[in-house]
Each structure stands twice: as structure tokens, then as C-alpha cells.
A and B are shown apart, each in its own frame.
Chain A
Amino acid sequence: MTQAIEAPADSTQLVPADHGHAHAATNTGVSNAKLGIWVFLASEALFFGAFIATYFLYRGRDEEVGNPGPRPREVYDIAFTSVTSFVLLMSSLTMVLALAAIQRGDHRRLRIWLLATAFFGMVFIGGQVFEFTEFYREGLTLHTNLFGTTFFTLTGLHGAHVTMGIIWLLVLWGRSMQGRLHTEHAEAIEISGLYWHFVDIVWIVIFTAIYLVPQN
């Protein structure tokens, strides 16, 4: 901020229109792109919040109103989901390592960690696809009962967000392979990382809400 205010009045060297680059002078000192992603994630938080609230509203209601099964306890394989969840959480670690790598200018490791992060994400999605298929085989659909409606919607939308993140990471990896992602673009990795960590944190909440909080 101070930097901007001290600019001489007659300067023709002006605040750039915007480049989203780390070096652009901004009033807050945070680059436009980074501020933008934070603001966007705040919006996303309410999106998931609405679905998580819906899930809690209807949790256990199937039992109360006598809807047909299956019930959560009959279909959950908590050990399996814990493993895929752990893999997803570990992908946040590799994401951080990717950012650290580009910040030191180590592009080879950047690419390794980006691929690792995307791979862990895919493992998680693979687990989700497997889980959905299993639940479907056991007779759970969007229509079966409230658990089916809320479970598939909430976890499905989260899965869609993870998928978007995977695509994002792969695009960044592709750019790096082409040699078009330079050390000064570290912020591009940081921003995709913010999104990735956000999706991970949301999963911690969802996992706790759906699988861990005891219900019948």
C-alpha cells in the first residue's frame, strides 16, 4: 500500500492494469490472483456448507420415518474410505512440496510432485467410484431414501471438485513440460494449491460428518 501511495504524481509508469503476477503492486500487498482465489473459496465454503447442513438435517431420519434401507452402517466400509481419505490428505503434502520445488527453481521435482498430487487425487476418485458402485449394488440410489439422496449429492459434488483440481494440476504439469512454467510463475502453483487444500479440508469435514459421527 505504501508503495503505491509514494508514487510520484507525474509518473507515467503506472500501476499495471493487472497481470496477476506476483510483482504487480496492489493496495493490499496480496496479488490479485491470490486475493481472487481466497474470495472464491469463501464462496465455495457456503456452497458445501449448504449441502453439509442438508445432510445433517436428514441424518438418521430414514430410521425415524421408516424409509427402506440400506442404512449407512450397512453399506459403509470405514476402513476402505479411511485409506482413500488418507491418500487425499497426503496429496496436500505433495502439493506443498510442489510449491516448495518451484520456489527454489527445481522444475524437475515440481513436475514429480504435481504428478504425485494428481495421482493421489485420482486414487481418491477411484475409491469414490468404487464406493458408489458398491453402494449402488447394495440397492442405494438417489431415490432409495434420504441417506441416498444426501450422500450421493454431497460426496458427488466434492468428487467433482477434486476432479476439477486434478485437471488443473495436469494442465500446470503440461505447461511445465512445455517449459512455459517458470520460477516466477510460482504463484500459479500456490493458487492451485490453495484450491487443492480447500477441497481437502472440505473432505475432512465431510468425512467426519458422514462416516465418523455415529449414527444408526
Chain B
Amino acid sequence: MTTVEEAVSHEPVERARIVGRPISSTGFWSWFTTVDHKKIAIMYGTTAIFFFLVGGVEALLIRIQLASPNNSFLDANQYNQMFTMHGTTMVFLMGMPIAAAFGNYFLPLMVGARDVAFPRLNMLGYWIFLFGGIFLYSSFLLGGAPNGGWVNYAPINSTPMADGFLPGRGPDFWAVGIIMLGIGSVATAVNFIVTALNMRAPGMTLMRMPVFVWMMLVVAFLTLFAMPPVTAALIQVYIDRNFDGNFFNAAMGGEPILYQHLFWIFGHPEVYILILPGMGIVSEILPVFSRKPLFGYAVVVFSGIAIGFLGWGVWAHHMFTSGIGPVAVSAFGLSTMLIAVPTGVKIFNWLGTVWGGSVRLRTPMLFALGFIAQFTIGGLSGVMHAIVPADTQQHDTYFIVAHFHYVLFGGLVFALFGGFYYWWPKIFGRMMNEKLGKLQFWLLVIGFNLTFFPMHFLGLEGQPRRTYTYDEGLQWEGLNQLATIGSFVIALSFLVFLVNAFMSRRSAPAPTDPWDARTVEWMTSSPPPEYNFATVPVIEHRDEFWHRKYTEDDEGRLLRLPAGAAVDMSDPEGRDAHTLGIHMPSPSYWPFVFALALPILGYGFVFKNWYIVAAGVVVGFFGLVAWALEPQTAEDQGVH
């Protein structure tokens, strides 16, 4: 073991450098330079919730447009922009970043680390996310947002603008923006992998890691390998569109289906990138509120890993109607059925966890149970898509929309809200209001099912996706109206959540361990100090914290251990890291500067202005070199 840095008495030797090092870890400007994983997590979460609202408003506009036949609330192009940006926002600016928020906050805490492996890289990931989101949304003011669907298919999106099918620079913004966000995601993935593999507390073996950490590890590997193919595909789209390339130009022998393959090699693992964090959160909540350990921990973990592997072998089930041939279609149909197995195993494990437990129906538990029920419905309609003839019928209808909203909304979003209610006291030191929480849950259950269940029928009756209106007399009016009403109930439920979040500022301070929890993030104060644990816990059990609180008598009944077992491992006197001699990474400007270069480069590429590109290169180069020359901690500047 290393580093007891002696309390640093000497002034850091100031070397020749253009700007000094940011010191302050409080105040407004500190948010721009912070490398604290918890602060970065809060920034991720806040920004992602903002984009969540924006994406939600887009969904409402879609629903208003579809509420009646031949509606002219939005024109076709506006509608195209809405569904494209809704999907893009919910996947790239909400789902992935909220998972990154939870991962950032709790992955280090749950493995007993003081921060992530690369704090400045972590900071870079956040700023790329923010700038990437702003970049994508700025397209609304610069000639129109992306309007070719969240999959950005070729050739519709890859044909040069002059003779293109889509008005505006939307496809360019999409291609460049997603490449940008991908860079940030890969940076975060590298960080999470190294943190989980390398920074675990003493005794925290891999098979003692909380399931949430395991799932984030799988997600990080999926992100790591999924982003490069889509980046390649989008570079190809960009070259086709802006340099008259031939990648997807059928007239020159290019194959548009290449784009579909490259996209879905990313796109299907992406589905698991979105859902596995939700599964991880639920696997944390259920045992706590059932007062039982997770049923079949190892099986849940290995099922998650199995999903991670199998997720690479099912991509072409998104392409059953594209003419890939009977052999490929059969193989991908089979692999798609296969992936239902580990997913089903997990559902039974969750049920087994709740079964026979002393269940407390607090808000986080409600959301976790809601997750199981609704995710199962989405999973079942997913298995229907493995049956090729059925899928061919359902392809590009509202049935698909219903299916993936059951998985990603009924599943992921419910899990995320469960996570918010569960960890809110730890993050902000305040309890959320139970009554408002339960009100939000029931509003969301009703609104969600009202919106998306009718879409199954609409899809089977043939209502196509991505079509801005429909004719009278197709018998679609009633169900569409129902869905629109449901979407406003969802909006109301979100408002209740925001009110609850806002009001929690005045609620009672949260204790260290409000839920009688099982994992080590509850062994430090709420909110945790900058350094997380004054003494890093030594882990002897899975569910370490539970074992520190409880033992069993001779007949196997739970006995609470006398108080005094180490519970709060923050410093009772609230001293800072420096006083305790804990060596924490110091704030930095450079990841922010480097991240700033990316949107500059992006605008340069979208508008093909090579001066702007050059400016972006200069800013990026400056940021990167300054970053490389700066030691990770201010102390190091003096030490070496």
C-alpha cells in the first residue's frame, strides 16, 4: 500500500504554464473544473433530466399531432424532426447519461473507492455529453434538426444535400453529433471498466461486487465495442453526403444495407446498454425492501454477462424485412429467442428475491416491481419479434413502438425513478416525500399503460411508425386519442416528480442508512464527503453492510448486532481530505477546454468550413497538451 502523502507543507513549485491550476472545490465555477465523481454524477443527472423533459415535450407534440386523423398541428417535416429528436434524445441524451450519472455516483462508492480511475477523463465525458447535446439541439436554429429517424438510415440520410431526400443539414448534425457523444461514452466506459476491475476495496472480490456494479461493467464493455462500428458508419455517411462518396451509393455498387449492419451491430447492444443499468438498479432495490439477499446472485450476474455476449449475435432481427435471406433470418431468429433465456432467468430471480421476504412497499420498491411487470410484457412482445413471419408483419408499425417503449420506458425509466427515490437521500441528504412518490408511481403506471398498450393494437391494425398523420375511417382514432390522453398523464407524473425533488430541499435530513440497506454506499454520510470513506472498508461478505448490522441466532433468525459496529465510515468531525492526509485528485480546466474543441470541430464539419475545423483542432490540441503536462494532483506538481 502506498501514499501517505505527508501533509504537504511546502508550496507547490509553480512551473512555467499558461494558466494556474484551479484550486477551489466550492462555488459556482468549481462545477466547471471539478473531478469529483459525485459532483460529475449530479451534473450528468441534472443535464439528462433536462433533456428528458425536452424529449418528453417532443413526445407530447407527436401525440397531439396523432390525436386526430389528418391533423395539421405539425407538418410532415416538423413531425419528422420531432420523432427523430425524441428518439435521439431519449437514447443518447437521457438513457445513457442517466446511467452514467448513477454509475458515476455509485460505482466508486459501491466498490469502496475514493473516485473513478481517471477523474479528468470522467470530467471530459460529462462535458462532451453536454456540448454534444447542445450541438445536436442547435440544429433547430441552424436550418432544421435531424429528420431521418434516430437510426439515420442510408441512403435517405447519406445522399448529398443538393440532390438529397431530406431538407436541411439534419443528417450531418446527427452523424457528427453522435460521433461526438460516442467519444464521450467510450471515455466513460474505459473509466468504469478500470474502476470496477482495479479500484475495489480490500476484500471486494468480483463475486462480492454489487449487481449494479456488475451490470455497469457489462454496459461499459458493450459501449466500448458498440460505439466504434456506429462511428465508422457515421463517418461513411458523412463522407457520402459531403464528399460524394460511394459507400451507400447504389448507382456505383454501394450497398445501403451495409449501413444497417454497422448501425445495428451498435444498435442492438445499445438496447442492452440502456436496459442493463436498470436491471442493476432493480437488483439493488428488491433485496433491500424484501429484507432478503438477492436470490441467485451468481446466476443474475452471469445472466447479465450472457446478455452482454448474446447481444452481439442478434442485430439482424432489426433487418428481417431488408432481404438478408432465409438462412440469415433463421439464424438471427433463433439467437433472438435464445437471448430471452438469460432475461427470463433474471425475472425469476427477482421474483424469487421478493418471494417470502418481508416486503416494504416504499416508493423505490413500487418502481422496481413496476419494472418487473412491465419489462416482462415488453420482453414477451420481444420474443414475438423473434418469430420471423410475425416480425415481418409488425415491422415498422406501432406494435414495435409499443414493444420498445415497454422495455425502455416500462423497464428502464421505472428502474431509473426507482433509483432516484432509493438513492436520493444518499445523494442529497434529504428524503423524498413518500406520498408524492406513490402518487407519481401510480400516475406513471396509469399514464404509461394508457399510452403504450393501445399501440399494440394500432400496430397490429397496421398503423405505420414515422408517419405524420393517418386517414379517417381506419378505426385508429379512438386508440390514438387514448394514447394521447395517457401521454399527458405521464407528463403530470413527471411534474409530480419534479415537485417532489424540489420540495425535498426542505424535508428532513436523511440518516446514513434510511432503508436498512445492504451495500457499502450506505456506510458513509448522506451526502458522502469528497473522499467517500475516511477509512476504506474491508469487505468480507457480499452485502457487506448487512453483515455488519445483522447476524443469525442458532435457529437462523436475524439478530441485530449491537450498535458500534462500524456504520458511518465518513469522518465524524467532517474534516476535509487534506486534513485527513487523503490524497484526492485536483480540479482541472483542461478536460473542459478539450471538450469545447469538439463542438467547434463539429460545426466546422457540418458547414464544411475548414477554418472552423482548424480552430477546433487548435483548441483541442491546446487542451490535450496542457492536460498531458498537468499532473493529476496539485501535490504532484511540487513532489516530482
Is A23 interfacial (CB 8 A cutoff)?
yes
Q: Collect the chain A residues with CB atoms within 8 Å of residue B201's CB.
A: 4, 15
Interface string of B354-381 (1 = CB under 8 A from A): 0000000000000000000000000000
Query: Would A171 and B629 be within 8 Å (CB), given that A57-B258, A142-B239 are in contact?
Result: yes
Q: Which residue of B lies closest to A40 (CB)?
A: B190
Is B202 interfacial (CB 8 A cutoff)?
yes
Q: When chains A and B are docked, how far (Å) is the Cα of A46 from the Cα of B245? A: 22
Query: Would A27 and B199 be within 8 Å (CB), given that A13-B3, A32-B194 are in contact?
Result: yes
CB distance from A186 to the nearest CB of B (A): 14
Which of B58-66, B223-231, B294-302, B442-450 is the contact stretch?
B223-231
Q: Collect the chain A residues with CB atoms within 8 Å of residue B26's CB.
A: none
Is A6 interfacial (CB 8 A cutoff)?
yes
- Among the interface residues B229, B252, B262, which one has the most CB atoms of the partner chain A within 10 A? B252
Please state if A149 and B262 are interface contacts (CB–CB under 8 Å): no
Query: Would A65 and B252 be within 8 Å (CB), given that A12-B580, A18-B118, A50-B262 are in contact?
Result: yes
Please state if B252 and A146 are interface contacts (CB–CB under 8 Å): yes
Please state if B245 and A15 are interface contacts (CB–CB under 8 Å): no
Q: When chains A and B are docked, how far (Å) is the Cα of A67 from the Cα of B254? A: 11
Is A73 interfacial (CB 8 A cutoff)?
no
Which of B98-106, B410-418, B484-492, B532-540 is the contact stretch?
B532-540
Q: When chains A and B are docked, how far (Å) is the Cα of A5 from the Cα of B582? A: 19
Please state if B117 and A145 are interface contacts (CB–CB under 8 Å): no
Is B310 interfacial (CB 8 A cutoff)?
no
Is A3 interfacial (CB 8 A cutoff)?
yes
Q: When chains A and B are docked, how far (Å) is the Cα of A61 from the Cα of B625? A: 43
Please state if B625 and A171 are interface contacts (CB–CB under 8 Å): yes
Q: Which bucket holds chain A's interface residue count?
A: 35 or more
Please state if A46 and B628 are interface contacts (CB–CB under 8 Å): no
Please state if B228 and A46 are interface contacts (CB–CB under 8 Å): yes
Please state if A44 and B228 are interface contacts (CB–CB under 8 Å): yes
**Other-chain contact of B246, A7, A20, A27, A146 (Cβ < 8 Å):** A146
- Among the interface residues B194, B244, B580, which one has the most CB atoms of the partner chain A within 10 A? B194
Is B55 interfacial (CB 8 A cutoff)?
no
- Among the interface residues A30, A32, A45, A57, which one has the most CB atoms of the partner chain B within 10 A? A32
**Other-chain contact of B193, A4, A39, A167, A180 (Cβ < 8 Å):** A39
Which of B81-89, B454-462, B632-640 is the contact stretch?
B632-640
Q: Collect the chain A residues with CB atoms within 8 Å of residue B235's CB.
A: 153, 157
Q: Which residue of B lies closest to A43 (CB)?
A: B224
Is A19 interfacial (CB 8 A cutoff)?
yes
Q: Collect the chain B residues with CB atoms within 8 Å of residue A182's CB.
A: 640
Please state if A64 and B1 are interface contacts (CB–CB under 8 Å): no
Beyond known contacts A17-B531, A43-B189, A142-B239: 19 more, CB 8 A cutoff: A11-B536, A16-B3, A16-B114, A17-B114, A32-B198, A35-B117, A39-B194, A43-B186, A46-B228, A50-B232, A54-B262, A143-B244, A143-B246, A145-B246, A146-B246, A149-B239, A153-B235, A153-B236, A180-B640
Q: What are 15 of the A-B contact pairs (CB < 8 Å)?
A: A13-B1, A14-B1, A17-B114, A17-B119, A17-B584, A18-B632, A36-B117, A36-B191, A49-B229, A50-B229, A67-B252, A67-B253, A149-B239, A157-B235, A171-B625
